[in-house]
Amino acid sequence: MDIEARPPQTTQQYVLDQLRRAILTGKLAPGAPIRQDALAEQLGVSRVPLREALKILEGEGQVTYRPRRGYVVAELALEDFLEVYRLRRILEEEAARQALDKITDADVTRLEEAHADVVNAGQAGDITAMAAANRRFHFTLIDAAGMPRLRRFLSILWDATDVYRSLYYSEETNRDRVDHEHHGIIEAVRARDADELVRRLDEHRAGTVSTFRDFTAKRET
């Protein structure tokens, strides 16, 4: 696992950021064990902030605790992944329709800026930055709905599949697809066309689901 220089922050936040980065980039892959002693030594910290960070990630569904094995990076069966995306479809449609009644030109500008960051990060091969910008893109739209409870539910659902984000972004064709699909989403928002926006969001999620289906099929052969 590559370690970044420690910025001025709490030890727990530093450890949490490093673990998130390792999971998101696939350096800690789904199902991989988290060897606390070795990781604490690698990060130059005690096991206390490491345990605290792991508990936070466990609450987000990104790691799981298994008796006699300790913490491992979470894995999702295909049916679990499909359930998450089914719930996202329901909630994100509601958020999108509500958002179009309230969205401002400043929100549209933020969408465009987030998308530009997605593209730049993708061209640089920086999956961590790409994922962060992609999340900012989508949650700009979700936030415009003005429904904080719905936002919290969606945040939990997004967290549950972050461990597979690198799987999708590692393919150049998928990065190009994200660029194209984001453009369609932005155009639907500009036109204030709710049905078209929902269709574009459905199409966007479908690409990720298709990639995960292929990954699952290969893993089982």
**pLDDT higher than 80, residue 219:** no
3-25 per-position pLDDT tens digit = 555 454 688 899 999 998 888 88
The type of residue at 112 is E
- Is residue 165, in this structure, part of any structural domain at all? yes
- Is residue 4, in this structure, part of any structural domain at all? no
Indicate whether 156 and 51 sit together in one domain: no
**pLDDT higher than 90, residue 75:** no
Q: Give the mean model confidence (pLDDT) for residues 184-197.
A: 97
Tally of structural domains, the chain: 2
Indicate whether 58 and 139 sit together in one domain: no
Indicate whether 115 and 197 sit together in one domain: yes
Under 8 Å CB-to-CB from 216, ≥6 apart: which residues? 77, 78, 81
CATH, residue 41: 1.10.10.10
**pLDDT higher than 70, residue 46:** yes
Indicate whether 67 and 15 sit together in one domain: yes
Indicate whether 27 and 93 sit together in one domain: no
- Is residue 67, in this structure, part of any structural domain at all? yes
- Is residue 6, in this structure, part of any structural domain at all? no
Q: Give the mean model confidence (pLDDT) for residues 61-66.
A: 89
**pLDDT band (50, 70, 90) for residue 29:** confident
Interatomic CA distance for residues 164 and 25, integer angstroms: 9
- Is residue 1, in this structure, part of any structural domain at all? no
- Is residue 155, in this structure, part of any structural domain at all? yes
Indicate whether 93 and 193 sit together in one domain: yes
**Six-digit token pair at 135?**
């999340």
Looking at the chain, the whole-number percentage of residues with pLDDT higher than 90 is 65
Interatomic CA distance for residues 57 and 150, integer angstroms: 21
Q: How far is CA 221 from CA 76, 156, 201, in A?
A: 17, 31, 31
Interatomic CA distance for residues 98 and 104, integer angstroms: 13
**pLDDT higher than 70, residue 157:** yes
Interatomic CA distance for residues 132 and 118, integer angstroms: 8
- Is residue 2, in this structure, part of any structural domain at all? no
Sign of CA dihedral 119, 120, 125, 127: negative
Indicate whether 85 and 146 sit together in one domain: yes
The more confident residue out of 65 and 68 is: 65
Q: Give the mean model confidence (pLDDT) for residues 166-178.
A: 84
**Separation of CA 7 from chain center:** 23
Range of the domain at 44: 11-73
**pLDDT higher than 90, residue 206:** yes
- Is residue 118, in this structure, part of any structural domain at all? yes
* Least confident segment among 90-104, 137-151, 199-213: 199-213
Looking at the chain, the whole-number percentage of residues with pLDDT higher than 70 is 95
Q: Give the mean model confidence (pLDDT) for residues 49-70.
A: 90
Indicate whether 41 and 94 sit together in one domain: no
Indicate whether 107 and 167 sit together in one domain: yes
The type of residue at 73 is V
Interatomic CA distance for residues 10 and 53, integer angstroms: 11
pTM of the model: 0.81
Indicate whether 41 and 106 sit together in one domain: no
**pLDDT higher than 70, residue 69:** yes
Residue 8: the pLDDT is: 46
